[in-house]
Amino acid sequence: MKKIFLGLLCLVTLPVFAQRLSVDFLGGVSNYQGDLQESRFTFSQGNAAFGVGLSYQITNHISIRGMASFGRIQADDKLNRDTFLINRNLNFHSKLYDLSLTGIYDLLDLSTHRITPYVLAGVALFHFNPYTTDGAGFEVNLRSLSTEGEGLTAYPDRKLYALNQISIPLGGGVRFAVTNNIILGFEVRMHKTFTDYLDDVSTN
């Protein structure tokens, strides 16, 4: 199963030029869905996420946003309820660096309404690098261990996975016009990835 990482975010938008170009500041929580996370959609074991970007309003309903963001994802089998998963005893951490370009559609016109729901979709480039810690507390890079035989001649069908990947961000939220110059938004965003190794677990 390809992995997904999630975001529950708060955005502050500040128009800076003719009300069309805006600076966006993001803060929230990031998490992931995958082999080490028992619940399908959850913010258990979530971490802080931050970002900054620019938005350009094309029409009163359509805008585009470019954003650079940073977050962390992690999971630990010992926090699951299933006995098999607990006994498997895997865990991972990873930092996420993300550059995204998304299109946003406001259902209502914020120039005439104080609040609007919206949806978004786009494309993103992200960097990840799963690691764990050894008994002495030192970080151990999991990719370099080839834990599932990736990159080893004994497993020619298991290629070493790339740490830079493409994802598809999808989501939606609600935006409030606090003043004419400040917009506050609350957003849920899901990134569909094309790698099965966010957590360094894919086959066996």
The domains of the chain are located at: 4-134+162-193
Query: CA nearest 66: which of 78, 77, 51, 55?
Result: 55
CA–CA distance, 6 with 16 (Å, rounded to integer) = 29
CA–CA distance, 74 with 47 (Å, rounded to integer) = 8
| pLDDT greater than 80 at residue 34 | yes
Place of tokens 């006995």: 83
The reported pLDDT for the residue numbered 67 is: 97
For 86, the 3-state DSSP assignment is helix
167 alpha-carbon distance from chain centroid: 9
CA–CA distance, 47 with 45 (Å, rounded to integer) = 7
The reported pLDDT for the residue numbered 81 is: 87
CA–CA distance, 27 with 51 (Å, rounded to integer) = 7
CA–CA distance, 189 with 176 (Å, rounded to integer) = 18
Cβ 187 vs Cβ 169: under 8 Å: no
Give the architecture (CATH level 2) of 4-134+162-193: Beta Barrel (2.40)
pTM score:
0.90
Q: CA dist 157 to 89, 150, 183, Å?
A: 26, 8, 50
State the CB neighbour count (10 A cutoff) for residue 100. Answer: 22
Instruction: Kindly indicate the confidence band of residue 18, based on its pLDDT and cuts at 50, 70 and 90.
Output: low
The reported pLDDT for the residue numbered 85 is: 86
Gyration radius (Cα) of the chain, Å = 19
Stretch 150-166: mean pLDDT, rounded?
92
In sequence order, what are the residues at sequence separation of 6 or more whose Cβ sits closer than 8 angstroms to the Cβ of residue 37?
31, 44, 45, 75
